[in-house]
Amino acid sequence: MYICFAEYRISPEYRAQYLSYTNGLLAEGCEVQLYEGTDQPSLFVEVWNAPTCEQAEQIKKERCNERSPWFQVSEWIVGGPAKMHVWTFKPAHLNDETING
């Protein structure tokens, strides 16, 4: 299992609008978990699950695409889209032959 992980800070004045918008996206059945920092309010992370590295990279590409419904979130990020960080993660304790595929 791989994850595509997106992290960004939402401007406090847009937090309510962001939460309302993402609530609608989540209600549509998006396969993502959304978290807010407890020590850093308005710091959000999205966790997207994927069975393969290739699928995780595809999620990353789609998530960063301007046509993605999630891209609107960039309007509310402190510093804009350049401050959204997106990474792919793999299990740390499995060898590469087991997880690449």
* pLDDT of residue 96 exceeding 90: no
For the entire predicted model, the pTM comes to: 0.86
Q: Which CATH number is 27's domain given?
A: 3.30.70.100
Which residues have CB under 8 Å from 4's CB, separation 6+?
A: 46, 47, 48, 50, 56, 57, 59, 60, 63, 86, 87, 88, 89
The reply to whether 84 falls in a domain is yes
Q: What is the pLDDT of residue 12?
A: 96
* pLDDT of residue 97 exceeding 90: no
Give the model confidence (pLDDT) of 40-95 as tens digits. 999 999 999 999 989 999 999 999 999 999 999 999 999 999 999 999 999 898 66
The reply to whether 76 falls in a domain is yes
Domain of residue 55: give its range: 2-91
The reply to whether 54 falls in a domain is yes
